[in-house]
Structure 1
Amino acid sequence: MHIESRAARLRIALAASTILASSLAQPTFAQTAAPAEPAAAPVELAAAEIDGGEIIVTAQRRAERLQDVPLSISAISGDALRNAAVTSADRLEQLVPGIRLGRSGSDLRPAIRGTYTENVAANGDPRIGIYVDDIYQSRTSQVPPIVDLQRVEVQKGPQGTLYGRNSFGGNIAFFSAVPTDEFAAGIDGLYGRYNHARLEAFINTPIAPGISFRAAGLYEQDDGYIKNIGTGNDLGREKQWFVRGTLRLAPTSMDDRLEILLRGSYLDLGGSGLGGFGYKVLGSEVDASLITAPGGSITRNGVTYQLPTGFNGSSFTGTGTSIDTRYRDGIPDINGADVGIPTIADPYTVNYAGDVFRDGDQQQYSAVINFDAGPVRLRSISSYTDFELVRTGGSLTPVLLNYSYQQTAARTFTQEIQLLSNDKDSPLQYVLGGYYLNDRVREVAVTNQNRSYVTATAPVGQQYYTFGFNYLPAAGTGLNQTFAYDGFSAVQQKTKSYAGYGQLSYTFFEKLTATAGIRYTEDRKTLLSSRFNRAATGAGSYFAHDIEQPIDYACGGFIPASPRSVSADPTAIAQAYNFVCGSNKDSFTTYRGALDYKFDRNHMVYASYSTGVHSGGFNTGPVTIGGVPTLLPFAPEKVDAYEVGAKNTLLDGTLTFNVAAFYNRYRDLQAQTSIPNPNNPLTGVIALVQNIGKDRAYGLDVEALIRPTDRLTVNIAFNYLNAREIDYAVNTFEFGGAATFCNVTTSCTAASGERNTVQGTPFPNSRTDPNRFVPILDPNGQQIVIGGVPQFKYVIAGKGLDGTVYKSKKAFSPDYTVQMGIAYAIDLGSAGSLTPEVQTYFNGGYILTDLTPDYGNQKAYTKTDLRLTFLTADERFRVQAFVNNIEDTAVITRAVYGNHRSLLTSFAQPRTYGVQVGVRF
Structure 2
Amino acid sequence: MATARTAFRLALISSTMLAALASPALAQTVAAPATAAAAEDVGDDIVVTAQRRAERVQDIPLSVSAISGDALKNAAVTDVERIEQLVPGVRFGRSGAALRPAIRGTYTENVAVNGDPRIGIYVDDIYQSRTQQIPPIVDLDRVEVQKGPQGTLYGRNSFGGNIAFNSALPKNEFAAGIDALYGRYNHIRGEAFVNLPISDGVALRIAGMGEQSDGYIRNRNPNGNDAGDNDQAFVRGTLRIAPSNIEGLEVLLRGSYLWQGGNGIYGFGYKEVGVLVDRDLIRQPGGSITRNGVTYNFPNGFNGQSWTGTPLNVDSRYRDGIPDVNGVDVGIPVDADPYVIDFAGKTFRRTRQHQWGGTISYDVGAVKLRSITSYTDFNNLVTGNSLTPVQLNFSYIRTRAKTFTQEVQLLSSDTTSPFQYIVGGYYYNDNITEHNVTNVNRAYNTVGAPAGQKLYNWGFTALPTLANGTTVGNIDQTFAYDSLTAYQQKIKSLAAYGQLSYTFAEKLTVTGGIRYTSDRKTQLSSRFNTFPGSSPLYYAHSIDDPINYTCGGLIAANSASNAPASAIASAYNFVCNNLTQDFVTWRAAVDYKFSRDHMIYASVSTGAHSGGFNTGVVNIGGVNTLLAFAPEYVTAYEIGTKNTLLDGKLTLNAAAFLNNFRDLQAQTSIPNPANPAAVLALVQNIGKDRAYGVDLEMVARPTPNLTFNLAFNWLHAREIEYAVNTFNFGGIASFCSTTVTPDCNLSTGEQNTVQGTPFPNVRTDPNRFVPVVAPDGSQVTVGGVPQWRYVIAGKGRDGTVYQSRKAFQPDYTVQVGIAYRIDMGDAGSLTPEVQTYFSSDYILTDLTPDFGNQKAFTRTDLRLTWRSADERFRIQAFVNNIEDTAVITRAVYASNRTLQASFAIPRTYGVQAGFKF
TM range (shorter): over 0.9
Distance 2:18 2:199 in 1: 11
**What residue number does 1:680 align with?**
675
Instruction: Find out whether 1:827 has 2:817 as its counterpart.
Output: no
Distance 2:78 2:22 in 1: 30
**What residue number does 1:655 align with?**
650
Distance 1:50 1:489 in 2: 47
**Which of 209, 231, 235 is equivalent to 2:227?**
235
- Name the amino acid aligned to 2:704: D
Q: Which moved more, 1:863-872 or 1:753-762?
A: 753-762
**What residue number does 1:632 align with?**
627
Contact 1:892 1:907 in 2 (8 A): yes
> Aligned-pair distance for 1:274?
1.2
Contact 1:105 1:278 in 2 (8 A): yes
- Name the amino acid aligned to 1:587: D
Instruction: Find out whether 1:756 has 2:747 as its counterpart.
Output: no
> Aligned-pair distance for 1:642?
0.1
- Name the amino acid aligned to 2:460: N
Partner secondary structure for residue 894 of structure 1: strand
**Which of 544, 556, 560 is equivalent to 2:540?**
544
> Aligned-pair distance for 1:227?
0.7
**What residue number does 2:599 align with?**
604
Distance 1:208 1:782 in 2: 77
Q: Which moved more, 1:728-737 or 1:749-758?
A: 728-737
**What residue number does 2:689 align with?**
695
Instruction: Find out whether 1:141 has 2:132 as its counterpart.
Output: yes
> Aligned-pair distance for 1:338?
3.3
**What residue number does 2:460 align with?**
470
> Aligned-pair distance for 1:456?
1.0
> Aligned-pair distance for 1:277?
2.2
Instruction: Find out whether 1:704 has 2:698 as its counterpart.
Output: yes
Instruction: Find out whether 1:904 has 2:895 as its counterpart.
Output: no
Distance 1:740 1:26 in 2: 73
- Name the amino acid aligned to 2:450: P
Q: Which moved more, 1:303-312 or 1:644-653?
A: 303-312
**What residue number does 1:343 align with?**
334
> Aligned-pair distance for 1:307?
2.3
**What residue number does 2:48 align with?**
57
> Aligned-pair distance for 1:333?
3.0
Distance 1:27 1:771 in 2: 74
Contact 2:732 2:744 in 1 (8 A): no
Contact 1:50 1:56 in 2 (8 A): no
State how 1:773-788 maps to structure 2 within 5 Å. 773-788=769-784
State how 1:415-426 maps to structure 2 within 5 Å. 415-426=406-417
> Aligned-pair distance for 1:336?
3.0
Instruction: Find out whether 1:863 has 2:853 as its counterpart.
Output: no
**What residue number does 2:34 align with?**
none
Contact 1:402 1:447 in 2 (8 A): yes
> Aligned-pair distance for 1:472?
4.2
- Name the amino acid aligned to 2:58: Q
Partner secondary structure for residue 592 of structure 2: strand
CA change 1:269–1:26 in 2 (3 A) is closer
Distance 1:427 1:796 in 2: 50
- Name the amino acid aligned to 1:401: L
CA change 1:53–1:686 in 2 (3 A) is closer
Instruction: Find out whether 1:812 has 2:804 as its counterpart.
Output: no
Instruction: Find out whether 1:526 has 2:517 as its counterpart.
Output: no
Instruction: Find out whether 1:224 has 2:218 as its counterpart.
Output: no
Partner secondary structure for residue 518 of structure 1: strand
Contact 2:240 2:253 in 1 (8 A): yes
- Name the amino acid aligned to 1:503: Q
Partner secondary structure for residue 465 of structure 1: coil
Q: Which moved more, 1:195-204 or 1:759-768?
A: 759-768
Distance 1:828 1:678 in 2: 77
Matched positions, count: 891
**Which of 224, 238, 251 is equivalent to 2:243?**
251
> Aligned-pair distance for 1:337?
2.9
State how 1:417-816 maps to structure 2 within 5 Å. 417-462=408-453, 464-473=454-463, 480-538=476-534, 540-567=536-563, 569-681=564-676, 683-736=677-730, 740-741=734-735, 744-746=739-741, 747-816=743-812
Contact 2:591 2:600 in 1 (8 A): yes
> Aligned-pair distance for 1:778?
1.6
Distance 2:688 2:105 in 1: 12
Partner secondary structure for residue 442 of structure 2: coil
- Per-residue CA shift, 1:684-722, capped at 9, x if unaligned? 111100000000000000000001111000000000000
Q: TM-score, normalised by structure 1?
A: 0.94
Distance 1:680 1:457 in 2: 46
State how 1:334-373 maps to structure 2 within 5 Å. 334-373=325-364
**What residue number does 2:281 align with?**
290
- Name the amino acid aligned to 1:634: F
State how 1:367-382 maps to structure 2 within 5 Å. 367-382=358-373
Contact 1:469 1:737 in 2 (8 A): no
- Per-residue CA shift, 1:52-100, capped at 9, x if unaligned? 7621011000111100010000000111111001101100000000111
> Aligned-pair distance for 1:36?
15
State how 1:160-175 maps to structure 2 within 5 Å. 160-175=151-166
> Aligned-pair distance for 1:470?
2.9
- Name the amino acid aligned to 1:913: Y
Q: Which moved more, 1:765-774 or 1:778-787?
A: 778-787
**What residue number does 2:37 align with?**
none
Distance 2:265 2:727 in 1: 31
CA change 1:844–1:320 in 2 (3 A) is same
- Per-residue CA shift, 1:534-582, capped at 9, x if unaligned? 1113462001111111100011111111110011x21111111111111
After superposition, the CA RMSD in angstroms is 2.4
Contact 2:185 2:215 in 1 (8 A): yes
Partner secondary structure for residue 541 of structure 1: coil
Contact 2:319 2:452 in 1 (8 A): no
CA change 1:338–1:580 in 2 (3 A) is farther
Partner secondary structure for residue 896 of structure 2: helix
> Aligned-pair distance for 1:315?
1.5
> Aligned-pair distance for 1:308?
2.2
Partner secondary structure for residue 405 of structure 2: strand
**What residue number does 1:854 align with?**
850
> Aligned-pair distance for 1:318?
1.5
**What residue number does 1:40 align with?**
none
CA change 1:74–1:332 in 2 (3 A) is same
- Name the amino acid aligned to 2:632: E
Distance 1:252 1:67 in 2: 31
> Aligned-pair distance for 1:121?
0.6
> Aligned-pair distance for 1:279?
2.3
- Name the amino acid aligned to 1:598: K
Distance 2:232 2:131 in 1: 17
Long gaps (5+) in structure 2? 32-39
- Name the amino acid aligned to 1:635: A
- Name the amino acid aligned to 2:686: I
Instruction: Find out whether 1:158 has 2:149 as its counterpart.
Output: yes
Contact 2:770 2:789 in 1 (8 A): yes
- Name the amino acid aligned to 2:639: V
> Aligned-pair distance for 1:24?
11
**What residue number does 1:42 align with?**
none
- Name the amino acid aligned to 1:250: A
Long gaps (5+) in structure 1? 38-48
Partner secondary structure for residue 767 of structure 2: coil
Distance 2:836 2:436 in 1: 40
CA change 1:559–1:738 in 2 (3 A) is farther
> Aligned-pair distance for 1:271?
1.5
Instruction: Find out whether 1:318 has 2:309 as its counterpart.
Output: yes
Q: Which moved more, 1:229-238 or 1:708-717?
A: 229-238
**What residue number does 1:189 align with?**
180
CA change 1:857–1:118 in 2 (3 A) is same
